[in-house]
A and B are shown apart, each in its own frame.
Chain A
């Protein structure tokens, strides 16, 4: 189906207008004659896959990159030199929020906007407090402004960041607030609160340029969407004119089924490969479950229900002092072992936070990949470089890891390929069971489907997979069976192939 391109509004009416924006890095053109226009008071989404140029665009706007010659930019009708200056009414909240976690909300806001001072630089604390509360009040959030922001919930932090970005807004309406992946670090249940905040910003007359991967958010929040692909502008569309399918296809350039569901078959009587008895920890309160060979078992639930703790406990990294309960692998031995010693079961885990728990940034691709199987590659303690190369090449082919030279640092790979290396590291040890946490965090629609297909393939080759995710799409797409945790126990069990999204969501939220 074709979507309709909204004709450009006449100059002078836009909050932000950019045209002919190009940016090259050497021979590679990251942006090619891209244009965008944001109407006053609208929520305008910017979408595109990895490699589409959307973060380059944001960086040019923020002055981090100098665009190539020829770019034209206007804010509220005033021309500005894109990349070299950032006008006052163009504000940014980046994904990392730019807050100092050890400082309070008041201090963080003052960091950006300055303190209310009297003669000699003495801070007028009461006035400062009043100002801070004022700024936060408009977003209807009730926080302790003196508590270090590290102790606030993620959405509260995001609100502080947004309030901070909007400080000292001269005049009333107009201007643009750029939000770059604001929901990437928010648990699913806090996203609605953020939406309220964004709508409030719009109500006050400021346009919002909203960058996100998540299609359902865009449909709920945005008025229009600009899509980039391969550094070029695909088009700007009214949201009402698109469906998730058409949006996905426009982003990836091919037909993509956003409601893909992998077809995985599990024999009814396949053996139980993992049994869990009365496992408790900090959030888990006595979980029992069984996993059969070849299943893709989903773990769902709200944050705090134990959905993130359970995979770590099963993998043996759950915090020895507080974990109780037993595990066993009945097809191997009838002996139960304490859950504390779960590392003995050798169940690898692909972590959610790739940065801090997945890749070792200083290591090469090969070193990252082989870390789990070093013993297999060494004889008499010495690593055979030849064997190492063989293993790395094998997995690179199998998972299609794109890298120039596997001895170069892993940071030279794209994020998706890095994730593949982490996966390869887990699979290289030839485990029976694999655990995935948030496998599609921050991944765009095209790659997402590829991930689902790959997992399904692995399962049909005999691997048993446990997936813990806060994204219902993951669970619906892949799982043969879904367990819903609530309050640290298994509250519901559903057939993964037959359940629908509304049913799943209801079960998670616990009606």
Chain B
């Protein structure tokens, strides 16, 4: 529709009482369903499972089990929300996880010290990130396809390193096992890693100029460029960051598995993206964020463990994931739609010639957002 939406926007906004005395107090605002709808679903699930498996579910042991079982998934999800914030898909991270896992194991089995092996594996992961970044940002290949392609290349590397089979040995039960298996108060170390990384990412996104610019790049790279944001550089660094965190996750994973498996990271691809996207709907109204991602991981993980404790049939697992994703998104979206219909959507007529023949001339660097 052409014409002017803004006067209606203003009218409807007024109608929903923006006057200060009727504004929700901020605690209530923070607990609103449109901010943390997933948490409410999670509480509902916890209640249901507590009745369903009363002997086993509502215990501290269950809480620990859920946290321990999902820490690596959380790490994987942390890896990808950085490029996602910048509008870039990294589909290769699961293979990067696998690669760093097999590299570190191969080195340790070959006699390298645990510390050195970890450092080298991390450097390999950083290298993967740089390759991704060069392909996507410098060669300007679409990120979705580009990282799918690099994933394939990484898989080839993995096969080269492992010869196609899992690698293991007595060294796996030595100091390396502590990386993923040492416990702190009943919780495995990876939980600590998750918290640390989540806090760092939260701080980055919320409080730093770089984080703000990352979001800007993801939301509107053209406008960001005009505002002086170095869009290409941010996208580049975001891919390096995701590969680095994925590399770390892979090392932790192989420590937990006790082996370097050529297929270790692959099952984490979809759950990490599901958690990242579900997490974006929580807490920050559409922005990828670490807190929401953790909520999402735990929500999905609670279901898996709860269903298993309640001896539900195998097919219920996948059904649960699907339903919960829909429910959490719907609950969040329902409320949000009713409050945001009051906010005008597009602003009024302000388009000058987007069809101007010279429009294409500006910034051959202004490509469509890297999807």
Contacts and interface: CB of A to CB of B under 8 A. Distances in A.
Interface of A: 24-30, 50-56, 58-59, 62, 64, 94-96, 153-154, 157, 180-181, 184-187, 211, 213, 281-283, 303-304, 306-309, 312, 315, 317-322, 343, 346, 348-349, 351-363, 367, 371-372, 374-375, 377-378, 381-383, 404-405, 408-409, 411-416, 418-419, 425, 429, 437-438, 441-443, 470
Interface of B: 1-16, 18, 207-210, 212-213, 215-216, 219-220, 222-229, 286-287, 343-366
A322 B212 contact: no
A408 B343 contact: yes
A263 B219 CA distance: 40
B14 to A, nearest CB: 5
A346 B18 CA distance: 38
20 contacts: A25-B11, A26-B16, A27-B14, A30-B7, A59-B3, A62-B1, A303-B356, A318-B362, A320-B364, A354-B351, A356-B354, A371-B229, A383-B208, A409-B343, A412-B344, A414-B10, A429-B228, A441-B350, A442-B350, A442-B351
A372 B347 CA distance: 22
A212 to B, nearest CB: 10
A55 B351 contact: no
Nearest to A425: B227
A403 to B, nearest CB: 11
A28 B14 contact: yes
Which 5 A-B residue pairings sit nearest by Cβ, starting from the closest?
A26-B15, A95-B2, A55-B3, A28-B11, A442-B349
Given A377-B209, A408-B343, A211 B2 contact: yes
B363 A318 contact: yes
B349 A181 contact: yes
A346 B71 CA distance: 45
B233 to A, nearest CB: 12
B3 A180 contact: yes
A360 B221 CA distance: 9
A438 B352 contact: yes
Given A52-B7, A157-B355, 4 more contacts: A95-B3, A352-B356, A377-B209, A413-B6
Contacts of A26: 11-12, 14-16
Nearest to B349: A442
B10 A28 contact: yes
A415 B349 CA distance: 7
B216 A95 contact: no
B358 A348 contact: no
Contacts of B224: 360, 371
Contacts of A27: 11, 14-15
B349 A213 contact: yes
A286 B354 CA distance: 25
A185 B361 CA distance: 17
B303 to A, nearest CB: 30
A389 to B, nearest CB: 15
A352 B226 CA distance: 12
Contacts of B210: 381
A198 B346 CA distance: 28
Contacts of B11: 24-30
A185 B353 CA distance: 5
A355 B363 contact: no
Contacts of B365: 317, 319-320
Contacts of A307: 358
A317 B225 contact: yes
A25 B347 contact: no
A306 B226 CA distance: 19
A449 to B, nearest CB: 17
Nearest to B355: A154
Contact of B353 (A55, A352, A357, A362): A352
A441 B1 CA distance: 17
B361 A282 contact: yes
Contacts of B361: 281-283, 308-309, 312, 318-319
Given A353-B352, A354-B350, A360-B224, A95 B1 contact: yes
B353 A315 contact: no
